[in-house]
A and B are shown apart, each in its own frame.
Chain A
Amino acid sequence: MDKMLLGRYINGDSLIHRMDPRGKLFLSFYFIVIVFLCNNWETYVLMTAMVMLFVKLSDISLGFFIKGVRPLIWLILFTVLLQIFFSSGGHVYWHWGPFTVTDSGMINGVFVFCRFVLIIFMSTLLTLTTTPIEISDGLELLLKPLTKIKVPVYEIALMLSIALRFVPTLMDETTKIMNAQRARGVNFGEGNLIKQIKSVIPLLIPLFVSSFNRAEDLATAMEARGYHGGEGRTKYRKQEWKRNDTIAVILFVVLTIALVVLRK
């Protein structure tokens, strides 16, 4: 399970690490929006330069980001191939049945590839430099306006932080149950598809039961510690908007303007 990069956090004390999670969350989403402003070489080069700057500032080696791309590589290649083989317009290089390869199709393919990689890099940057707690705290603050339309933001944030806190615990448990069942002769990941699906049952059922038991225990423990809903609760952690964050926001505003100017 070590290979999983989802939600992995790498400890550090870089400029990016010290940013306010609210800022990081918001800018990560915003980045996905402005990636779609790119439609020519200049804009992509500018965008890539920007992402590289952030990667550099985070003090995390490029290898981690490339690892982040890996699980999605098939999706990316599939999309790129679709772009290459099924676009029309421009000079036709090759033509066979429904497939056409044109120069604009090739360029679009490269653009789509860049777009994917940039978005993945940026979201990996968010998870690598922000602890799960910070993410859930940040989300709570970002979503706070929604309390006006009766969205239970506080409860959602608590759910999220408990879920994140239990991910490693349940992973451990999964490994343990798998080993215990293996010791009794279950073969995981062997045989045909139906056999494989069947072999998951002795893993999933105990896992569900133990999750419910854990939930029950946790609920009792929370209640015993005086938890009765979000009302009147204070927050232990404080999030501070620092100069870093303001600079980052300004950078993004400048970037947006540059993109709008450069795009055709």
Chain B
Amino acid sequence: MNGIIDIKDLCFRYSQENEKLDLSHIDLHVNEGEWLAIIGHNGSGKSTLAKAIDGLIEPEAGEIFIDGEKLTDKSLWNIRKKIGMVFQNPDNQFVGADVEGDVAFGLENQGIEREEMHARVKKALEVVDMQNFAKHEPVRLSGGQKQRVAIAGVLALRPKIVIFDESTSMLDPEGRLQIISLIRQMNQTEGFTVISITHDIDEASLADRVIVIDDGQIIDDSLPEKLFQKGEQLIDIGLDVPYPQRLKLELKKRGIQIPAEYMDEESMVNWLCRSILKN
């Protein structure tokens, strides 16, 4: 079956002098409309993988197919039209001198007519709820707002795939929640294929599927509920587990019997209430 992203045996290293591959033998298949989270500790190769998918770096070996098209020098620009990327630092990806100009930047690159651009920019700003800030310069925006502008820039381009490269890592908790709910909305109601690279376990636990990267290799690929059951194992490779799972581990340590299956916040609350009522 053809997915929207197919990666076959991808290898990459930053410098030829490196003995170790920064990405080694990655095989990945992403279905259309899926929300895939990529987690891993610092320096594990997550961002490198994202850059490889968008053709920002050239792999040493292996093939990448986006929407059935092979990523080559020739198809590069066509493929980039299908992928929107939101990066980590909200300050360094703001190209335009003001919000409107920044959202329009990608559209200008594609040579879209002015009327069409105005309509699309307006619509995109409405989706991220930034329409009142259209004329603001980046200095007058908070980090979360800049990140929403970056998302609007991606929405205006109408790609099929959106990659969030640690887009929430530099935000405060409130900005983070806003961006996460935007990601969810984009994935569930607008039908974008979403790849989110993240350290934020709560963000990863919302995804349809999570892959874990360690030392440039995919070491786990499963549903979030399955993955987070492996509590201690994850902590061993330098990752965290969602809050309900941490609570579960602590309760277990104190000798309380607790079901083994994965529980999200809601089911945890329900379980706790029920067991307290029973006693």
Kindly count the residue-residue contacts between A and B in the assembled complex, taking CB atoms under 8 Å apart.
97
Chain A interface residues (CB < 8 Å from chain B): 131-133, 136, 161-162, 164-165, 168-169, 172, 213-214, 217-218, 220-228, 232-238
- The smallest beta-carbon distance between B15 and chain A, in angstroms, is 16
- The smallest beta-carbon distance between B256 and chain A, in angstroms, is 47
Contact across chains for B109 and A220 when beta carbons are under 8 A apart: no
Contact across chains for B97 and A131 when beta carbons are under 8 A apart: yes
Of B112-120, B174-182, B202-210, B219-227, the stretch lying at the interface with chain A is B112-120
- The smallest beta-carbon distance between B219 and chain A, in angstroms, is 27
B240 adjacent to chain A (CB < 8 Å):
no
Most buried by B among A214, A217, A225, A235: A225
Mark out the residues of chain B between 88 and 116 whose CB falls within 8 Å of any chain A CB in the assembled complex. 89, 91-98, 100-101, 104-114
Contact across chains for B92 and A218 when beta carbons are under 8 A apart: yes
- The smallest beta-carbon distance between B163 and chain A, in angstroms, is 9
Contact of A225 among B112, B139, B157 (CB under 8 A): B157
Most buried by A among B51, B77, B94, B157: B94
Contact across chains for B92 and A226 when beta carbons are under 8 A apart: no
Q: How would residues 176 to 216 of chain B score, 1 for a CB under 8 Å from any chain A CB and 0 otherwise?
A: 00000000000000000000000000000000000000000
Chain B residues closer than 8 Å to A131, beta-carbon distance: 97
Q: A133-B101, A217-B89 are in contact. Are A234 and B95 (CB under 8 A)?
A: no
- The smallest beta-carbon distance between A219 and chain B, in angstroms, is 10
Chain A residues closer than 8 Å to B139, beta-carbon distance: 168-169, 172
B137 adjacent to chain A (CB < 8 Å):
yes
- The smallest beta-carbon distance between B17 and chain A, in angstroms, is 21
Chain A to chain B contacts (Cβ below 8 Å), 9 pairs: A133-B97, A161-B96, A162-B95, A165-B97, A214-B92, A218-B95, A225-B157, A227-B105, A234-B111
Which 8 A-B pairs rank lowest in CB-CB distance, beginning with the nearest? A217-B92, A221-B93, A236-B104, A225-B106, A133-B97, A226-B109, A168-B139, A224-B85
Contact across chains for A236 and B92 when beta carbons are under 8 A apart: no
Chain A residues closer than 8 Å to B137, beta-carbon distance: 165, 168
Which residue of A is nearest B89, CB measured? A217
Chain A residues closer than 8 Å to B83, beta-carbon distance: 224
B138 adjacent to chain A (CB < 8 Å):
yes
> Bound state CA distance, A89 and B114, in angstroms?
63
Contact across chains for A217 and B101 when beta carbons are under 8 A apart: no
B247 adjacent to chain A (CB < 8 Å):
no
Further 17 A-B residue pairs, CB within 8 A, beyond A224-B56, A228-B77? A133-B101, A168-B138, A218-B92, A221-B85, A221-B87, A221-B92, A221-B95, A222-B95, A223-B56, A224-B80, A225-B105, A225-B109, A225-B153, A226-B110, A227-B95, A233-B111, A236-B114
Which residue of B is nearest A11, CB measured? B135
- The smallest beta-carbon distance between B46 and chain A, in angstroms, is 15
> Bound state CA distance, A212 and B139, in angstroms?
19
Contact across chains for A235 and B114 when beta carbons are under 8 A apart: yes
- The smallest beta-carbon distance between A210 and chain B, in angstroms, is 10
Chain B residues closer than 8 Å to A218, beta-carbon distance: 92-93, 95
Which residue of B is nearest A231, CB measured? B111
> Bound state CA distance, A225 and B137, in angstroms?
20
Q: A217-B92, A221-B92 are in contact. Are A132 and B114 (CB under 8 A)?
A: no
- The smallest beta-carbon distance between A140 and chain B, in angstroms, is 13
Q: How would residues 45 to 72 of chain B score, 1 for a CB under 8 Å from any chain A CB and 0 otherwise?
A: 0000001001010000000000000000
Contact across chains for B138 and A169 when beta carbons are under 8 A apart: yes
Chain A residues closer than 8 Å to B153, beta-carbon distance: 225
Contact across chains for B97 and A225 when beta carbons are under 8 A apart: no
Which residue of A is nearest B85, CB measured? A224
Most buried by A among B118, B137, B157: B137
> Bound state CA distance, A227 and B153, in angstroms?
13
- The smallest beta-carbon distance between A187 and chain B, in angstroms, is 28
B121 adjacent to chain A (CB < 8 Å):
yes
> Bound state CA distance, A100 and B121, in angstroms?
67
Contact across chains for A236 and B121 when beta carbons are under 8 A apart: yes
Contact of B106 among A133, A172, A226 (CB under 8 A): A226
Q: A131-B97, A224-B54, A226-B81 are in contact. Are A236 and B87 (CB under 8 A)?
A: no
